[in-house]
Every structure is written in structure tokens, then in C-alpha cells.
Amino acid sequence: MDKAIKKVEKALKKAKIDFPESYIEDLAEVYIRRELKDKELNDLVVKVKEAYDRAHVEAGEAVGTVAAQSVGEPGTQMTMRTFHYAGVAELNVTLGLPRLIEIVDARKTISTPTMDIYFEEDKAQDEEFVKKLANSIGKSTLNDILQDFHLNYADMNIEATLDLKKIEDKRLDYKEIIAEIEKNFKKVVINDNVLKFEPSKKDKYRELRLLADKVRDLQISGIKGIGKIIIRKDEEEWIIHTEGSNLGDVLKKEGIDKVRTTTNDIHEIEVVLGIEAARNSIINEAQRTLNEQGLSVDVRHIMLVADMMTSEGTVRSIGRHGISGEKSSVLARAAFEETGKHLLRASIRGEIDDLTGIIENIIIGQPIPLGTGSVGVKMANKK
């Protein structure tokens, strides 16, 4: 590979071309794979340079407007639907236009948070380890492991029988379950796998029914914020999909692949992994949402949106409460939303609009600072 890189660098030097390091590595890979001759490599370098120059943004181009059009236009063709994981109707993910709106609005609470959990190489094939970990992550309540449940109104108590086979199937610890029950219920008598609960106030049927709900809903395992789980075998490894998300606590678990494990909650990624990770998450989520609908948008437009949303160190929305509402131009802010409010505030404060952008110049009927309008002509006085 090093020899191929040197060959590429020599060809670039000969053609007086300067490429990023990643391009050089890609060219070296092609040089090896296609078994190119030196002349063919020289021709390829020139062709790549032409394509590289064509891909550059021209000076004065309205990249923001083009990006808005490029993301907005396919958005009008998107359907509003949710995607269900095969065979599990309860676990769904918001996709299409609602998901795209969720991303650009930078919503703190998203409608269907989910996680994709991957495992380290030595654990990815271990079915027993995956199932045990899945049950320690996913929410399990006492109701999930009960064999029998009976409200005795005559003696004012509740009898519940634990199903030892269900406990074994879920890879749960019997002693830990008993400890959790004793911690949450003071008036409980435990005889092997039979539990007797009594309400604190006697002779009140309502108290007994409320206690019954509390007993059934007692969480005996799982991570906060995570509900149902799906364990799926991919071509090569086991993967867990979750309903709900808690990236911080999941990454603390042993055997989890901390590089590939991810969530669709962008704010959670920002808190756990930082703003750069949140930026990448915005790009990946927007691209996945568009691609799933069969829409192709150049990644650079999405990258510009992600850059704008994260440029100040926090994830901001694109809207009147975020980027659009913070524009320096009064007319640009007024043109977006809440026109009267913006004009009134600007007049009270005595704000001045320098008319440097596109929107404000269109509003007042001046040439915009783009294309021929971006060039100023000065005439020298004749002496």
C-alpha cells in the first residue's frame, strides 16, 4: 500500500495537483485493485482533478438557499408513516416527514426513541451472553414472571405465585427479584415462590386494587428509559433493538461495542458523546430518513444544515426559536415568521438593517449580492 501511495503522490506532483490525504489513499487502493499502469494512473489523476474542481462551490453561490431547496423539495414528496420491526407491532420508529421535522426542530423529546446495540467481537456470536444482557437492559415487571395472581377480598390480601421457568427463560436472578420485592413492599410474606401482600389500610377495597396494580407494575430489571427489546440475528452477529433510549447507561455495560452502538436521540448523543458526535448524528439520521424514502440528496447540503445547527456548541433548531430567529437582518427575521412582532421589536430598539443578505434585498427590490449582483464596478475619474 505504501508503494502505491508513493506512486500516486509522484503522479500528483507531476500534474501539479494537491489532493486531501483520503483521496490519495483511495487512488492508491484503485491503483492496486485495477492493476493500473503508470500512464493510466496519470490519466486517472487528471480525470479525478476535473471532477474535484467541478464539485467545488463557486464563489458567491447561495449555499444556504440551495441547501434549503435541496432538503425541502424532496421533503414535500415524503410520506407520513411509521416503520414496524418485523413481527413486533409495539416497537415502531418514526420515519418520513415527521422524522425529518423532528431532526431540524431539534426536539428534546422525540416520539419514538430507539437504540441499536452492538457487541464486541468476542461476544457478538454468544447467544447466551446477548440474551442475558438484553434482559438486564429491557424492562421486566413482576407481572411478566407471575404464574398466578389472586385478589382475596375476604382476607384483604393478594396472593401471587412466581413462575420459576419464566425467571429462568428471562435469565433473571431469583434472589435479586425477592430483594426488590422486599425493598418496595413492607407487608409481604414470602414462602418459596408464593408471595402474600397486604394493604397498609385495612377494609378498603380501593387500597387493595391500587396495591394489586403496584405489585404487577413493579420493575424487577432493566435500565431507566428503556422498554421493550428485540434481539435479532444479523448475517454475522447478534443485535439488540430497544424501545426507548439511555445511551449513557447502556455504554457502561460490559461487552457492548461503544463505537457502533447508537441512538436516534440527537440530544442524548450530545450529552454523552459531545457536539461533534451530535453533528454526525444529525447528518446520519437525515440521510437515513431521506434514503429510506428513496430520495437522494447530496450529503453536503445536509452537512451544511448540521453545521448551522451545531456551530455554537449546542444543538439548535432551524426555526423562530433557533437559527432563523437569530438572524442579524430585521427583514429576514420578519420574512420567516411573526412579521409584526419582529418589526415592532426592531423599531422599539432602533435596529438598522445593512441589507447584506438575499432575502432582505428581494423584499425591497434591490439586486441581490449574488452572481452579477455580487460584483461592484468602480470608475476612475479622468484627469
C-alpha distances in angstroms, 69 versus 75, 104, 244?
10, 14, 33
pLDDT band for position 91 (50/70/90)?
low
Q: Which region among 28-42, 173-187, 322-336 has the lowest average model confidence (pLDDT)? A: 173-187
- pLDDT tens for residues 278-295? 999 999 999 998 988 888
Q: Which region among 72-76, 172-176, 314-318, 367-371 has the lowest average model confidence (pLDDT)? A: 172-176
Q: 275 pLDDT exceeds 90?
A: yes
Higher pLDDT, 226 or 83: 226
> Whole-angstrom Cα distance, residue 197 to residue 215?
8
Q: 9 pLDDT exceeds 60?
A: yes
- Mean pLDDT for the stretch of residues 353-358: 88
Three cell numbers written together for 360:
432582505
Q: How long, in residues, is the chain?
A: 383
Residue environment code for 5-22, b if the CB has 16+ CB neighbours within 10 A, otherwise e: bebbeebbeeeeeebeee
> Whole-angstrom Cα distance, residue 337 to residue 316?
17
115 close to 241: Cβ distance less than 8 angstroms:
yes
Higher pLDDT, 132 or 354: 354
pLDDT band for position 38 (50/70/90)?
confident
Q: What integer pLDDT is reported at residue 80 of this predicted model?
A: 61
CATH of domain 140-221: 3.30.1360
> Whole-angstrom Cα distance, residue 305 to residue 75?
14
Amino acid letter, residue 232: R
Q: What integer pLDDT is reported at residue 149 of this predicted model?
A: 75
Q: 84 pLDDT exceeds 80?
A: no
Q: What integer pLDDT is reported at residue 16 of this predicted model?
A: 84
Percent of the chain with pLDDT over 90: 19
Averaged pLDDT score across all residues of the chain: 82
Domain residue limits, the chain: 2-55, 69-112+264-326, 140-221, 330-367
pLDDT band for position 90 (50/70/90)?
low
C-alpha distances in angstroms, 358 versus 69, 70, 303, 317, 324?
15, 17, 21, 21, 14
Q: What are phi and psi of 331, to 5 degrees?
A: -65, -35
322 close to 308: Cβ distance less than 8 angstroms:
no
Q: What integer pLDDT is reported at residue 62 of this predicted model?
A: 84
Q: Which region among 108-112, 138-142, 224-228 has the lowest average model confidence (pLDDT)? A: 138-142
C-alpha closest to that of 246 among 264, 221, 220: 264
Q: 120 pLDDT exceeds 60?
A: yes
Q: 161 pLDDT exceeds 90?
A: no
CATH topology of domain 69-112+264-326: PTS-regulatory domain, PRD (1.10.1790)
> Whole-angstrom Cα distance, residue 364 to residue 95?
40
Could you give the dihedral angle defined by the CA atoms of residues 33, 37, 43 and 45, in that order, rounded to the nearest 10 degrees? 50
Q: What integer pLDDT is reported at residue 69 of this predicted model?
A: 92
- Mean pLDDT for the stretch of residues 37-48: 88
| Pairing of β 114-117 and β 238-244 | antiparallel
CATH number for domain 330-367, candidates 2.60.120.620, 3.40.1010.20, 3.40.605.10, 1.10.150.390? 1.10.150.390
Q: 87 pLDDT exceeds 70?
A: no
Question: Residues with Cβ < 8 Å from 214, sequence gap 6 or more?
Answer: none
Q: 383 pLDDT exceeds 70?
A: no
Q: What integer pLDDT is reported at residue 311 of this predicted model?
A: 92
Q: What integer pLDDT is reported at residue 131 of this predicted model?
A: 81
Q: 122 pLDDT exceeds 60?
A: yes
- Mean pLDDT for the stretch of residues 253-267: 89
Q: 93 pLDDT exceeds 60?
A: yes
Q: What integer pLDDT is reported at residue 200 of this predicted model?
A: 65
- Mean pLDDT for the stretch of residues 319-340: 84
Q: What integer pLDDT is reported at residue 380 of this predicted model?
A: 83
C-alpha closest to that of 214 among 260, 289, 151: 151
pLDDT band for position 203 (50/70/90)?
low
> Whole-angstrom Cα distance, residue 349 to residue 334?
15
pLDDT band for position 357 (50/70/90)?
confident
Residue 195 Rama label (left phi>0; alpha psi -120 to 50; beta): beta
